[in-house]
Structure 1
Amino acid sequence: GGGAIEVMEPAAQGRNVRRRGLDFGQGDVLLESGRLLDPAALSLAASANHPNLDVVRQPLVAIIATGDELLPPGSELGPDQIISSNAYGVIATAQSVGARALDLGIAADRHDAIAALVKKAVAAGADVLVTLGGASVGDHDLIHDVLTGEGMKLDFWKIAMRPGKPLMFGRLGNIRCIGLPGNPVASLVCSQLFLKPLLARLGGRLYRPDIRTARLGAAMHANDLRQDYVRATVREDAATLVATPFGIQDSSMLRMLADANGLIVREPFAPAAEAGAECSVLMLR
């Protein structure tokens, strides 16, 4: 009271004072180009009094599943029908690198049905068009003909890898078109290898696959002319990664892919390898 202040403990000069420019100063670069705007980056930009930031637009990937045999989850299946599952994994792959996904549904095995959904993808302004199935050479594999008929310029079709041989890539104007195999595992492995890096780059993100050196937990046969991506469990044993391949590698077996946390990469014509041999592993999680 009376305008008087009683100081109860000594005061040191500068205590409880944050000097101007302690955190950053005029002209400092606070966020490099390409920086992901995580919580700290957003708060930093706001604290520097920036109400707006220039960002890279999220790429849009449109997804078309094809096949008369496909039905959505929850359907009553007939003897010649299966559940359409690939799109969900592709959408999750796209979202993991910041892309937006537009699921255009299932097209019947008819030129007009597929072409109608391709036109929807174009009208939506898709940056990438992904088709699921129909990219092989069977009587009902129409993707190649439909897309080239719509003006796509084909870059390549079929690659020497397993799973994923029928992969197709081309450009429809400014839209990148990726024809993924219909087998679920092949579709998701190809999404990991081709779609994910593409969408990351279009979204302004750096992307490096997580490839590590490990030791085989089981012997593997010699490889043929295709590069193999073998589903495996990867664990740490005495500071060494051990990758153990699953015995069956059928490309329809999704449960095995869900259980795998890595893919052993086997070069074309790789010789037989004993347990304990060094190998390369692409980590999935």
Structure 2
Amino acid sequence: MISFDEALERVRGAARPLGTEIVAIGVAAGRVLAAPVIASISSPRRDASAMDGYAVREADLSTLPARLRIVGESFAGGGWNGAVGSGECVRIFTGAPVPEGADRVVIQENVRRDGDVAVIEETSDARHVRERGIDFEKGEQLLPAGRLLDKRAIVAAAAADLAQVDVHSRPSVVILGTGDELTEPGTAKERTDAIPESVSLGIAALMTDWGASVAGRERLRDDLPSMEEAAARAVESADLVIVTGGASVGEKDFAKTMFEPLGLKLIFSKVAIKPGKPVWLGRVGTTLVLGLPGNPTSALVTGRLFLAPLLAGLSGRAPDEALKWRAASLSAPLKECGPRETFHRARWKGSTVEILGFQDSSAQQALAEADVLVRQLADSPAVPAGSEIEVLDF
């Protein structure tokens, strides 16, 4: 059994990007750039108006009120192609190109229209012109390789006039849930010894948060021959296989055994943490296999601690982007820690963190209340209320 930090280091070593592909900008959200985004146009491409008003020549405003003849209109997407001469102006709208000859925009609130004449009675120091290229120039790098294409980055990539982007491949994952007692949610009421299978659904939701696609989800009976067949199918079709349950020492715990005929090589087996000691990671050929405990809380905690950084690395991000620990204040005292490093489920209580009362590894209602994990090192002393502790968004 190894420490949490050592197990995490082995996860970092296994979490290598899988490859790259080119995808349309419209389906690129959530992907990670494999190459920088370089602007193919400038923004704005011409001087543009920042307000609705009138495009004028500064020289014509030396004496106020000024009476300027309106010679045209300029709209966003439909600019006026003439040149503004002395004593002239152009009606202009936000985002429209500023016509040649004009060098400022007077906002419409400061203009009175008299037929085809704009009477400008007052001005301000603001020019209300967005200069060409003030946002970015053609050929400029807008986003670096490795940047997650979140909503803000997608806007920048589209503004660069790119129809496609070069991104890291999305990990394909198969989830195998094991246990004779498990049944599909909605059907457990039909058997007194049945338990709704909830873990794989939670793990699938966690996976999508970290850039993976669910290639399959299968519930397996505790029958070794059929489990071996399922393992072979999963390894063949996925970059990562996740197995939930069956990692203890019972007669029907076949989570690792089902992969042994395929040449399973363990990267680690069991970690000195609570909850989640049975978590393990291995490899079959080029496919990674992650074993998570069957208890819901244990599975979700170990998934957050190990699966999230693993998926981040496989999809082109730095694994540690998934483990951004920060300091928080403890709302109530915390007892001393035992020999295993412990990750307490907790929730925010105002500006402090409150440890949940029910910490059982099978908890599901309490799991829904937790939004943060509190890290407590092995064999550490009790922690008084108000102390600073390490937390991770959960």
> What TM-score do you get using the length of structure 2 for normalisation?
0.65
Q: What's 2:102 paired with? A: 13
Q: State the one-letter code of the partner of 2:357.
A: G
Q: Which moved more, 1:103-112 or 1:207-216?
A: 207-216
Show structure 1 runs of 4+ deviating over 6 A: none
Match of 1:250 among 341, 360, 372: 360
Q: What's 2:186 paired with? A: 74
Q: Does 1:114 align with 2:224?
A: no
Deviations 1:46-73 (A, max 9, x none): 4434332211111111100001111000
Match of 1:220 among 334, 340, 343: 334
Superposed counterparts of 1:118-137, under 5 Å: 118-124=231-237, 126-137=238-249
Higher relative contact order (CA 8 A, sep 6+): 2
Q: Which moved more, 1:247-256 or 1:164-173?
A: 247-256
Partner Cα separation in structure 1 for residue 335 and residue 131 of structure 2:
67
Match of 2:252 among 137, 140, 144: 140
Offset at 1:268?
0.2
Q: Does 1:163 align with 2:275?
A: yes
Q: Which moved more, 1:8-17 or 1:23-32?
A: 8-17
Deviations 1:139-188 (A, max 9, x none): 11111111122211012111100100001110111111110001110000
Partner Cα separation in structure 2 for residue 181 and residue 46 of structure 1:
42
SS at match of 2:390: strand
Partner Cα separation in structure 1 for residue 337 and residue 371 of structure 2:
22
Q: What's 2:346 paired with? A: 232
SS at match of 1:30: strand
Offset at 1:31?
1.7
Is 2:177–2:200's contact at 8 Å kept on the other side of the alignment?
Answer: yes
Instruction: Give the root-mean-square deviation of aligned CA atoms.
Output: 2.2
Q: State the one-letter code of the partner of 1:235.
A: K
Is 2:207–2:308's contact at 8 Å kept on the other side of the alignment?
Answer: yes
Q: What's 1:274 paired with? A: 384
Q: Which moved more, 1:202-211 or 1:163-172?
A: 202-211
Deviations 1:110-157 (A, max 9, x none): 112211221221232x11110000111111111111112221101211
- Against the structure 1 CA distance between its residues 213 and 50, is the aligned structure 2 distance closer, same or farther, given a 3 Å change threshold? closer
Partner Cα separation in structure 2 for residue 41 and residue 270 of structure 1:
42
Is 1:104–1:117's contact at 8 Å kept on the other side of the alignment?
Answer: no
Q: State the one-letter code of the partner of 2:169.
A: R
Partner Cα separation in structure 2 for residue 186 and residue 32 of structure 1:
37
SS at match of 1:143: coil
Identity %: 38
Q: State the one-letter code of the partner of 2:339.
A: L
Partner Cα separation in structure 1 for residue 373 and residue 360 of structure 2:
14
SS at match of 1:55: strand
Q: Which moved more, 1:76-85 or 1:174-183?
A: 76-85
Offset at 1:77?
4.0
| Larger Rg computed on CA atoms | 2
Unaligned runs of 5+ in 2: 1-67, 72-86, 90-100, 106-128
Offset at 1:204?
1.4
- Against the structure 1 CA distance between its residues 218 and 18, is the aligned structure 2 distance closer, same or farther, given a 3 Å change threshold? closer
Q: What's 1:189 paired with? A: 301
Offset at 1:235?
2.4
Q: What's 1:198 paired with? A: 310
Q: Does 1:90 align with 2:206?
A: no
Partner Cα separation in structure 2 for residue 34 and residue 68 of structure 1:
43
- Against the structure 1 CA distance between its residues 175 and 273, is the aligned structure 2 distance closer, same or farther, given a 3 Å change threshold? same
SS at match of 2:288: strand
Q: Does 1:30 align with 2:142?
A: yes
Partner Cα separation in structure 1 for residue 324 and residue 348 of structure 2:
13
- Against the structure 1 CA distance between its residues 6 and 99, is the aligned structure 2 distance closer, same or farther, given a 3 Å change threshold? same
Unaligned runs of 5+ in 1: none
Offset at 1:228?
0.6
- Against the structure 1 CA distance between its residues 283 and 22, is the aligned structure 2 distance closer, same or farther, given a 3 Å change threshold? closer
